[in-house]
Amino acid sequence: MTTEQPTDFIRNIIKEDLRTGKNGGAVVTRFPPEPNGYLHIGHAKSICLNFGLAQEFNSRCHLRFDDTNPEKESDEYKNSIKTDVHWLGFDWGPHLYHASDYFEQLYEYALQFIRMGKAYVCSLSAEEMRTTRGTLSEPGQNSPYRDRTVEENLDLFQRMRAREFPDGAHVLRAKIDMASGNVNLRDPVIYRIRHVEHHQTGNTWCIYPMYDYTHCVSDALEGITHSLCTLEFEDHRPLYDWCLETLKTPCHPQQIEFARLEFTYTVTSKRRLKQLVEENWVSGWADPRMPTIQGIRKRGFPPSAIRKFCEMIGVSKKKTTIEMSVLEGCVRDELNDTTPRVLSVLDPLKVVLLNFPEGKTEILQAPNHPQNPEFGKRDLVLTREIYIEREDFMEDPPKDYFRLRPGGEVRLRYGYVMRCDKVIRDPQTGVITELHCEYDPATLGVNPVGRKVKGVVQWVSIEHSFTTPLRMYDRLFTVPEPASREKEGVPFTQFFNSDSLRVQEAHVESSLRQATPESRFQFERHGYFCCTDERTPDGNPIFNKIVSLRDGWK
Ligand code: ATP
Ligand code: MG
């Protein structure tokens, strides 16, 4: 991974603009979410791009809530968006705006359109408007209201604002070209009547501006220089430019489109994420299986790994569908360097060290990070009875098995060498219930004289460890593109992976009792885990699995 400044077509455009002095040396970007849901990993790409540019060019990035659909928006969503942008490591400073801050200005500009003969009040029903819009191959038909006079339009539009008409009675349309090859230019609606309360403006308005019209004007009013959006807005750019050219705004930002970020085995559309929440497929927007920022945060992904990932995938116009394993790789790389190691046993087999006195405890010192002494050391408590992993013992192992076998020796991680002398079974089932071993007190940190011990096993003291649930996650869906068959009527939820959450009890070394929420650890051999803010009834911290130690699921 490179630490050099990234380059891409957007940065090239900006550098060229700076060279030619196009915007007087300014670079102003914005991240404009609609507060109608929680942010997801796709948004992270846009956040890292827009705020990243501001950092790189020593300029600013605005956070603007694109709040033109009051029915679907809420303060809950706004707050979560602010929390998520901060968590990702970015800050808008004093530049927090709402499209609704500009409602009055947008209204004034709409009056201006009308006076210029560039907008008219249309009284067709939504259905009539649809049928007269034409198709990709056929032009649309002019509305019978297209030639209303300026006076009539001014009068009707003002009365729309004055609450004289019900929802849907009229709309304001830009007067462009019903025969345009670009459907977005066929007299698009720029205002509609909605008698609903708005989370910012209350009941001040009953007419609300449409997204396309609002967006370009908001960008211009804020002095945005480069308005970056995803590719589906490419066909809307002529309308963006038409509005600003017609209004002759002093600032005319350049809209530049880039490819959305999509992942396999998950969904990243707010509508679908909302459906997963509302139909209780998951526990909420912050369920650690969700690709929302809050979900991956709960899962334990560090924000720096997400930033690195966004830098690595870069920005282009080519559709990017990425395997979740690529993001996980970034997370793993980061956690390998930054997390302390701890010992745990998931599938316990009891070991009794027959020559270790009952009731005795011995403190062993273990480094918290094998490659990095700065992480310091911690105490491990050794007692007569310990657990090891069941898979670390085999009665009749193949030749290349280096772990424990009857009569064989292994080293307890950070401890002594022990030899297995006896295998105890359940007389009924024949299942091995415990091993009787002897440890060699002369082997702490040194090899036993004359014997080679290759195997090292994890262990925990039975008395000085605690049991706690680990939440293990798998892909959210069983197929790479769960929504690809929606058109045939196959709902994406049909491919929900019912094994995507598995809870497993683990025995964990006692030092982890003090773990604080959002702290991360490598459970040696088992993967990376994040401490949740939840506790078991006896007060033990509960952990989420972040990723496995190597690529691959489970
Ligand atoms: P959805 O389709 O999930 O509702 P959206 O694009 O409508 O998402 P917005 O709140 O409008 O969501 O998005 C805010 C910004 O984030 C926009 O500039 C949008 O282009 C960008 N964005 C949204 N999804 C992605 C994605 N998957 N990849 C990159 N950028 C994205
Ligand atoms: Mg959108």
Instruction: List, for residues 145-189, the tens digit of each pLDDT value.
Output: 999 999 999 999 999 999 999 999 999 999 999 999 999 999 999
Spatial distance between the Cα atoms of 217 and 243, rounded to a whole number of angstroms = 8
User: 104 with 229, same domain?
Assistant: yes
Helices 237-247 + 211-221 axis angle, to 10: 60
Q: What is the domain extent for residue 370?
A: 344-458
User: 204 with 185, same domain?
Assistant: yes
Say if CB 51 and CB 13 are below 8 A apart. Answer: no
The answer to whether residue 34 is catalytic is yes
Which pair of tokens denotes residue 92?
């808008």
Is the pLDDT reported for residue 71 higher than 60? yes
Q: Write out the H or E segment, with its range, that includes residue 63.
A: strand 60-65
Say yes or no: CB of residue 269 within 6 Å of ligand 1: yes
What pLDDT shows up at residue 510?
Answer: 96
What pLDDT shows up at residue 2?
Answer: 46
Confidence band, pLDDT 50/70/90 cuts, at residue 6: confident
User: 238 with 284, same domain?
Assistant: no
User: 167 with 255, same domain?
Assistant: yes
What pLDDT shows up at residue 550?
Answer: 85
What pLDDT shows up at residue 319?
Answer: 86
What pLDDT shows up at residue 134?
Answer: 96
Residue 128 lies in a domain: yes
CATH of the domain at 394: 2.40.240.10
Count of domains for the chain: 3
Q: Could you report the per-residue pLDDT of 192-210, keeping only the tens digit for each?
A: 999 999 999 999 999 999 9
| Residue bearing the CA closest to ligand 1, atom 26 | 42
Q: Write out the H or E segment, with its range, that includes residue 438.
A: strand 432-440
Measured in angstroms, how far is the CA atom of residue 43 from the centroid of ligand 1? 6
Is the pLDDT reported for residue 354 higher than 90? yes
Candidate list 45, 270, 308, 475, residue with the active-site label: 270
Average pLDDT on 381-397 reads 97
Report which bound ligand comes closest to the CA of 49. 1
275 burial (CB, 10 Å; 0-12 / 13-18 / 19+) is middle
Task: Give every CB contact of residue 80 below 8 A, 6+ residues apart in sequence.
Answer: 38, 39, 285, 294
Residue 277 lies in a domain: yes
Strand partners for 26: none
What pLDDT shows up at residue 1?
Answer: 45
Of 458, 491, 510, the position where a domain reaches its end is: 458
Measured in angstroms, how far is the CA atom of residue 162 from the centroid of ligand 2? 29
What pLDDT shows up at residue 149?
Answer: 98
Residue 265 lies in a domain: no
Is the pLDDT reported for residue 18 higher than 80? yes
Is the pLDDT reported for residue 476 higher than 70? yes
pTM as predicted: 0.94
What pLDDT shows up at residue 301?
Answer: 98
User: 373 with 473, same domain?
Assistant: no
184 burial (CB, 10 Å; 0-12 / 13-18 / 19+) is middle
Strand partners for 523: 342, 527
Helices 103-115 + 237-247 axis angle, to 10: 80
Residue 117 lies in a domain: yes
Is the pLDDT reported for residue 138 higher than 60? yes
Spatial distance between the Cα atoms of 413 and 181, rounded to a whole number of angstroms = 71
Measured in angstroms, how far is the CA atom of residue 463 from the centroid of ligand 1? 51
Of 260, 283, 312, the position where a domain reaches its end is: 260
Measured in angstroms, how far is the CA atom of residue 167 from the centroid of ligand 2? 23
CA-based nearest residue to 458, from 409, 512, 394, 525: 525
The answer to whether residue 260 is catalytic is yes
Say yes or no: CB of residue 288 within 6 Å of ligand 1: no
Residue 151 lies in a domain: yes
**Percentage of the chain lying above the pLDDT 70 cut:** 98
User: 93 with 204, same domain?
Assistant: yes
Confidence band, pLDDT 50/70/90 cuts, at residue 4: low
Average pLDDT on 393-415 reads 95
Of 260, 288, 315, the position where a domain reaches its end is: 260
- In the sheet that holds 207-209, the strands lie side by side as 119-122, 171-174, 189-193, 207-209
- Parallel, antiparallel or unpaired: strands 377-382 and 456-457: unpaired
Q: Could you report the per-residue pLDDT of 411-432, keeping only the tens digit for each?
A: 999 999 999 999 999 999 999 9
Using only C-alpha atoms, what is the Rg of the chain?
Answer: 31
Which pair of tokens denotes residue 352?
């009794």
Q: Which residue has the tokens 């804020």?
A: 222
User: 76 with 165, same domain?
Assistant: yes
Spatial distance between the Cα atoms of 213 and 103, rounded to a whole number of angstroms = 11
Sign of CA dihedral 345, 351, 355, 360: positive
DSSP calls for 9-25: HHHHHHHHHHHHTTTTT
Confidence band, pLDDT 50/70/90 cuts, at residue 553: very low
Spatial distance between the Cα atoms of 130 and 504, rounded to a whole number of angstroms = 55
User: 309 with 398, same domain?
Assistant: no
Task: Give every CB contact of residue 480 below 8 A, 6+ residues apart in sequence.
Answer: 264, 265
CA-based nearest residue to 288, from 40, 546, 549, 550: 546
Q: Which of 31, 46, 85 best tests ligand 1's pocket when mutated (most atoms within 8 Å of CB)?
A: 46
**Percentage of the chain lying above the pLDDT 90 cut:** 95
Say yes or no: CB of residue 200 within 6 Å of ligand 1: no
Measured in angstroms, how far is the CA atom of residue 511 from the centroid of ligand 2? 46
User: 334 with 373, same domain?
Assistant: no
Candidate list 30, 237, 260, 297, residue with the active-site label: 260
Q: Which of 62, 230, 267, 492 best tests ligand 1's pocket when mutated (most atoms within 8 Å of CB)?
A: 230
Measured in angstroms, how far is the CA atom of residue 48 from the centroid of ligand 1? 13
User: 361 with 418, same domain?
Assistant: yes
The closest-lying atom of ligand 1 relative to the alpha carbon of residue 46 is 30
User: 314 with 376, same domain?
Assistant: no
What pLDDT shows up at residue 552?
Answer: 54
HSE on the CB side for 513, CA within 13 Å? 10
Confidence band, pLDDT 50/70/90 cuts, at residue 544: very high
**Mean predicted lDDT score pLDDT of the chain:** 96
Say yes or no: CB of residue 305 within 6 Å of ligand 1: no
Spatial distance between the Cα atoms of 82 and 93, rounded to a whole number of angstroms = 12
Q: Could you report the per-residue pLDDT of 305-345, keeping only the tens digit for each?
A: 999 999 999 999 998 899 999 999 999 999 999 999 999 99
Say yes or no: CB of residue 270 within 6 Å of ligand 1: yes
Report which bound ligand comes closest to the CA of 32. 1
CATH of the domain at 196: 3.40.50.620
The answer to whether residue 82 is catalytic is no
Residue 365: strand, helix, or coil: strand
Residue 302 lies in a domain: yes
User: 281 with 216, same domain?
Assistant: no
Measured in angstroms, how far is the CA atom of residue 390 from the centroid of ligand 1? 47
Residue 87 lies in a domain: yes
The closest-lying atom of ligand 1 relative to the alpha carbon of residue 232 is 20
Residue 454 lies in a domain: yes
